[in-house]
């Protein structure tokens, strides 16, 4: 529900965590990084109100970033400070972006019920939500505290909106929740370390078109781009992933351009299409053991990047470890 923008959707949190000095830059050269700037590409912007919407409050996050030492940055503290900045933006009638309520996602559970908690960073703002798939407004149910939804019979979609004390409304955000059964693991006859990678030297605009006879194949120890590759190409990483325990696992890809992760015959992460580096995630309930794993990726030209992460029961978000992968 956000306006089309060059490079995709950049959250204020992503701007805040931006570091102008690259980690790989030698310390002797840090003195030559004098500051940072933010550019607004206006191909899709027709009015000054739209410019303000794209700039604020992202500009506040950039200011905090370039005026602060990295060790002094604190995202939670910055959010508290933003409450006072929103009053100033309101006083100046700035058409800033109102963040939707936090707390919703595309969620799986192994139980019949799930409790949801929503939040907003704006003083005096109210959250309204629906559970029937309709778009919420000020006449919908007002959020007053954590609530429980029943998933015993069917999937439930929750839609929510923030409305500030001055009447500004956020985009509607949604989360879909369903009870899921654990996917059975498989028992491969033989598993070697790494993943088999198929390289296709061709132009693509979607991962679904990567098929046929590859130009080359190789074995990779983890999900990563090869050092030498053409300007336009497609990759298929395939093999198995060995998860240590029963439970719900979250997979993530951050890619430029498109990527997708499938476990068995189920698409878990859909990060397809031409775009800059963007992260997408998805969940799946897995039994401990091996599961067929496939990651598809294409690079359509320009910059390229690919990272794959996992989190799960007693497992913090991390790059998919090489010891979990096999073929």
For 152-197, how does the pLDDT look when each residue is reduced to its tens digit (9 = 90+)? 989 999 999 999 988 999 999 999 999 999 999 999 999 999 999 9
Q: How many helices (H) and strands (E) does the chain have?
A: 4, 18
List the domain boundaries for the chain.
12-91, 107-179, 195-326
CATH number of 195-326: 2.60.120.1560
The CATH number fitting domain 107-179, selected from 1.10.8, 2.60.40, 3.40.50, 2.50.20: 2.60.40
At residue 1, the pLDDT reads 67
pLDDT value at position 235?
A: 98
pLDDT tens string 269-317: 999 999 888 899 999 999 999 999 999 999 998 889 999 999 999 999 9
Q: What is the pTM of this model?
A: 0.75
Query: CA dist 39 to 5, 45, 55, 59, Å?
Result: 12, 13, 9, 10
* Whether 180 contacts 247, CB under 8 Å: no
pLDDT for 137 equals 95
Is there a contact between 295 and 270 (Cβ–Cβ < 8 Å)?
no
pLDDT at position 191: 95
């Amino acid at each position: 529900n956000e306006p089309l923008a060059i490079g995709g959707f950049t959250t204020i949190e992503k701007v805040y965590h931006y570091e102008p000095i690259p980690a790989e830059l030698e310390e002797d050269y840090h003195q030559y990084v004098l500051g940072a700037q933010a550019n607004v590409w206006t191909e899709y912007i027709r009015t000054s109100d739209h410019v303000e919407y794209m700039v604020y409050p992202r500009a506040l996050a950039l200011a905090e970033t370039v005026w602060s030492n990295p060790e002094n940055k604190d995202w939670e503290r910055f959010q508290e400070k933003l409450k006072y900045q929103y009053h100033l933006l309101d006083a100046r009638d700035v058409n800033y972006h109102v963040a939707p309520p936090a707390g919703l996602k595309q969620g799986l559970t192994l139980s019949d019920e799930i409790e949801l908690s929503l939040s907003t960073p704006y003083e005096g703002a109210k959250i309204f939500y629906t559970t029937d798939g309709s778009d919420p407004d000020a006449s919908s149910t007002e959020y007053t505290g954590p609530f429980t939804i029943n998933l015993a019979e069917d999937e439930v979609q929750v839609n929510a909106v923030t409305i500030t004390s001055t009447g500004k409304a956020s985009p509607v955000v949604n989360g879909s929740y369903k009870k899921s059964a654990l996917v059975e693991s498989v028992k491969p006859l033989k598993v070697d370390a790494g993943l088999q990678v198929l390289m296709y030297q061709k132009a693509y605009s979607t991962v679904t078109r990567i098929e046929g006879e590859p130009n080359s194949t190789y074995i990779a120890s983890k999900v990563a781009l090869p050092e030498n590759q053409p300007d336009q190409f497609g990759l298929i990483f395939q093999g198995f992933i060995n998860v240590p325990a029963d439970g719900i696992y979250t997979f993530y890809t951050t890619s430029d351009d498109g990527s997708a992760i499938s476990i068995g015959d189920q698409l878990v992460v859909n990060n397809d299409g031409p775009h800059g580096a963007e992260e997408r995630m998805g969940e799946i309930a897995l039994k401990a053991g091996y599961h067929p794993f496939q990651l598809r990726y294409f690079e359509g030209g320009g910059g390229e990047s690919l990272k794959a992460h996992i989190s799960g029961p007693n497992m913090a978000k991390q790059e998919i470890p090489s010891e979990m992968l096999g073929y």
